[in-house]
Each structure stands twice: as structure tokens, then as C-alpha cells.
């Protein structure tokens, strides 16, 4: 099976969907000639031309809003916001217009658009280029939020998102772009709302997403060395959320650790913990643990950045705490 990079998987998904459906087009800052800030759209303008792969001005509101209007008028745009940190500039168009138009208009329209963006820390580019803001978008009814961690998931999920009729925020991670993984050359889709169990176990459940899902897997391996059997789940989709996967696991293990790269306060995983409490309270043998980024703007210095963002050893420690070990 071919082994390709996360960013190549994304590019392949875009190319395949654009070949399949003439309504799909791409627009964003530096996506055409430059091929994307992280090379995820490399080669597309050469194949599809500047009409369908459009370099825009630096205008997040117009990029996002134009995607809304184009989607409502019959196209299937895949717009890009270069950094999730810049979504703040696009908030109204995405959260007020894209998310709500279907509902406000009595279900009589759809907004089939995908907004690709990327987030996360690890490059020492500090507070305005390293955030994880998914919680803000999960909070808005009407949009879906997808965060793949592997090349296989990135391709299968992006294709599904493009074919879905809901407005979807597809958040990639800057540290994952050059990661390699097996990706079939045959066509495949991954359905929305399905988590992936990366490792089976009985003692504690560790659920996470995006880059932290990879750290959670490492944590699972480390815990196995000391005889703790962890079940590791990669959520993949924050909304719709595969809550049943988490619940089944927690009913088995009785212990849950949630890991996320977003700031601790108001983190998305708090909502997950609440959902688990609502449906599986009687199955909990220990309080739910969360491992999140510190409540401070992401610092620049590598030493500080490493301290602020959840490390594998912090996930391991949280798992051990659920088992009553120091």
C-alpha cells in the first residue's frame, strides 16, 4: 500500500473530488501558485487552472462569506483560512451566516462548504499562529468540526466532508503535514461521526484528537510497559461526535483521560466529560481526568512551548492517577 504524507493525502483528496465534481473549487491565500502555506494544495492549480484554484487577497471575511454565497448558489467551495488563529476574522461569516442560514430559512437551503484550516503548536511561532480553537466552533449549532490525525483519516474524511451538505470546519495540524502513513490508492471514504480505536485495553480509556491522538497512542505504549492496559481512542470528528464509542469504552474500563491541545478552560473535552457523566456516571471508578494546554497564550520559546502544550508523559501521569497510582 502506498505510504504518503498527510499533506499529500489532503492534496489527493482535493484533486480527486475536483475531478469528480465540477462544482468543487478551492480558494484561499497562497493556495494556487505557492501551493499552500504548508503545501497542501501543491499542484492543483497546474491541473485545474486559476478559475478553480483561486488565490485571494488577504480577506478572511470575504473568503469565508464568498464560500457561503457560492455554496448557496450551487457550488461546493473548499475555502482555506491559513491559520485557525485567523478564524477570528471570519467568525461572523462562518458562525452567523454559514452555520445558521439553513435553520433560519426553515430548512429550505443548504450551505455545502468546507473551510480548511490548520492549528496547533510546535513550531515556536507563538500566540497568534499556534492555537487550537475548535471549542468555539463546536459551540455553534449548524456546523461540523473534523480534525484528522493521520494521512489515511485526512484523505477519507476530507472527501466525505466535500460531499456532505453541511458547512464543515476541517482543522488540520501544522505538525502533522509531513507525517507519513499508509493510504490506499483505491477510492475510500470515512463516514462522519465515527471515532477510531487505536489500541484496545481494559484498565483506562484515553480519548483524544489531532496531534494529541498520536501522543495518546505513545502514552498507551508506555503504560503497557508498566502493566496498565489502556484503550486509546482517536475521536477524529468533534461534531458529530462518536459518543457511543467513548461510552462503550468507559463502561468497560471505568476510567477516562481526555487529552486536547486547546487551552484548559472551556476546552471541548469538558463537554465530552459531561456527556460521559450524563450517560455513564455509574460506570466511573475514578474522576475523569483532562490533559490540556496551559491557560496562557502559546509562548514562543521552545522550552516554554513544550511546557504549555500537553506532553505524552502528562497523559501517562493522568492515566496512572485514575488508577490511584501517584
Partner 1 sequence: MQKVREVKRKKPEAAPANGDLTAEFKIGLLRRMMEIRAFEDKVFELLGRNILQGASHVYAGQEAVAVGACSAITDRDYVTSTHRGHGHCLALGADLKLMMAELCGKATGYCKGRGGSMHIADVSKRNLGATGIVGGNIPVGTGAGLACKLQNKDSVVLCFFGDGASNEGTFHESLNMAGKWVLPVVYICENNLYGMSVAFSRACAIGDVCARAAGYAMPGLKVDGQKVLEVRAAVLEAAERARQGKGPTLIEAMTYRYRGHSRSDPRVYRTKEEEAYWHDRDPIVLFKADLVNEGVLTEEAFAALQGEVDKAIAAAEKFAVEESPYPNPSEVMDDVYVGWVEGPKGLVRIEEKKG
Partner 2 sequence: MIQKVILPKLGETVEVSTIDRWIKNEGDTVTTGDILCEITTDKATLEVESYYRGTLLKILAPPGKELPVGSVIAVIGEKGEAIPEDILAQAGGQAATAGKEAPAEKAAAAAVAVAEAAPAVAAGRIFASPRARRLAAELLIRLEHVKGTGPGGRIVEADVEAAAKAGRSARAVRASPLARKVAEREGVDLAAVRGAGPGGKVMKEDVLRAARAPAAPAGPPVKPGEIVPLTAMRRIVAARMAESKRAIPCYYLDMDADVTRLVALRSELNAKGDGRISFNDFVVKACAAALRAMPAVNSRWVEGGIQRRGEVHVGVAVGLEEGLIVPVVRDVDRKSLRQVSAESADLAERARSKKLLPDEYQGGCMTVSNLGMFGVRSFIAVVNPGESTILGLGAIEDRVVFREGGIQVRKIMSLMLSADHRLVDGAVGAQFLKMIREGLEAPEGLVE
Catalytic residues: 129
Least distance between partner 2 and beta carbon 148 (Å): 33
Between residue 222 and residue 261, which ones bind partner 2 under the rule CB under 8 A? 254
Residue among 190, 189, 151, 157 at smallest CA distance from 173: 151
Query: Does the footprint of partner 1 cover residue 93 (CB under 8 A)?
Result: yes
Q: What angle do CA 211, 215, 217 make, to 5 degrees?
A: 115
Site size for partner 2, by CB under 8 A?
9
| Chosen from partner 1, partner 2, none, partner binding at 286 (C-beta under 5 to 8 Å by type) | partner 2
Whole-number CA gyration radius for the chain: 19
Q: Is 149 helix (H, G, I), strand (E, B) or coil?
A: coil
Query: Does the footprint of partner 1 cover residue 164 (CB under 8 A)?
Result: yes
* CA separation for the pair 297, 79 (Å, rounded): 27
Least distance between partner 1 and beta carbon 292 (Å): 21
Query: Does the footprint of partner 1 cover residue 64 (CB under 8 A)?
Result: yes
Query: Does the footprint of partner 1 cover residue 67 (CB under 8 A)?
Result: yes
Buried-exposed string 254-285: b where 16+ CB fall within 10 A, e elsewhere: bbbbbbbbbbbeebbbbbbbeebeeebeeebe
**DSSP symbols for 276-307:** HHHHHGGG-SS--EEEEE-SSPPPSSHHHHHH
Query: Does the footprint of partner 1 cover residue 185 (CB under 8 A)?
Result: no
Handedness of CA 121, 6, 83, 104 (dihedral sign): negative
* CA separation for the pair 112, 98 (Å, rounded): 9
Least distance between partner 2 and beta carbon 280 (Å): 9
Between residue 117 and residue 146, which ones bind partner 1 under the rule CB under 8 A? 141-142, 144
* Closer CB to partner 1, 288 or 293, in the complex: 288
Which of 47, 187, 202, 244 touches partner 1 (CB under 8 A)? 244
* Closer CB to partner 2, 186 or 282, in the complex: 282
Residues within the interface to partner 1 (CB under 8 A):
19-22, 25, 51-52, 54, 56-57, 59-62, 64-75, 77, 92-93, 96-97, 100-110, 141-142, 144, 164-166, 193, 239-241, 243-244, 247, 275, 278-279
Residues within the interface to partner 2 (CB under 8 A):
254, 281-286, 321, 324
Amino acid at each position: 500500500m502506498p505510504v504518503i504524507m498527510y499533506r499529500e493525502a489532503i492534496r489527493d483528496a482535493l484533486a480527486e473530488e475536483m475531478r469528480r465534481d465540477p462544482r468543487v473549487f478551492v480558494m484561499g491565500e497562497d493556495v494556487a501558485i505557492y501551493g499552500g502555506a504548508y503545501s497542501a494544495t501543491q499542484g492543483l492549480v497546474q491541473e485545474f487552472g486559476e478559475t478553480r484554484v483561486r488565490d485571494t487577497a488577504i480577506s478572511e471575511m470575504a473568503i469565508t462569506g464568498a464560500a457561503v454565497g457560492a455554496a448557496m448558489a450551487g457550488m461546493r467551495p473548499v475555502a482555506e483560512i491559513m491559520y485557525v488563529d485567523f478564524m477570528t476574522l471570519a467568525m461572523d461569516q462562518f458562525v452567523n451566516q454559514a452555520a445558521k442560514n439553513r435553520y433560519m430559512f426553515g430548512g429550505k437551503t443548504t450551505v455545502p462548504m468546507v473551510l480548511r484550516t490548520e492549528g496547533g503548536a510546535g513550531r515556536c511561532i507563538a500566540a497568534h499562529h499556534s492555537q487550537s480553537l475548535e471549542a468555539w466552533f463546536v459551540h455553534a449549532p449548524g456546523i461540523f468540526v473534523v480534525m484528522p490525525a493521520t494521512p489515511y483519516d485526512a484523505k477519507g474524511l476530507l472527501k466525505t466532508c466535500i460531499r456532505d451538505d453541511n458547512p464543515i470546519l476541517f482543522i488540520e495540524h501544522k505538525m502533522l503535514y509531513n507525517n507519513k502513513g499508509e493510504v490506499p490508492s483505491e477510492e475510500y471514504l470515512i463516514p462522519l461521526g465515527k471515532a477510531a480505536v487505536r489500541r484496545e485495553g481494559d484498565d483506562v480509556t484515553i480519548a483524544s484528537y489531532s496531534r494529541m491522538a498520536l501522543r495518546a497512542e505513545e502514552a498507551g505504549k508506555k503504560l503497557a510497559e508498566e502493566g496498565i492496559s489502556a484503550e486509546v481512542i482517536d475521536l477524529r470528528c468533534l461534531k458529530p461526535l462518536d459518543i457511543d464509542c467513548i461510552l462503550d469504552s468507559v463502561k468497560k474500563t471505568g476510567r477516562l483521560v481526555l487529552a486536547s491541545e486547546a487551552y484548559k478552560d472551556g476546552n471541548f473535552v469538558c463537554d465530552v466529560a459531561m456527556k460521559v457523566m450524563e450517560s455513564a456516571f455509574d460506570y466511573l471508578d475514578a474522576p475523569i481526568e483532562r490533559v490540556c494546554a496551559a491557560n496562557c497564550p502559546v509562548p514562543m520559546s521552545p522550552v516554554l512551548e513544550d511546557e504549555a502544550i500537553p506532553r505524552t508523559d502528562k497523559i501517562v501521569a493522568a492515566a496512572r492517577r485514575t488508577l490511584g497510582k501517584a
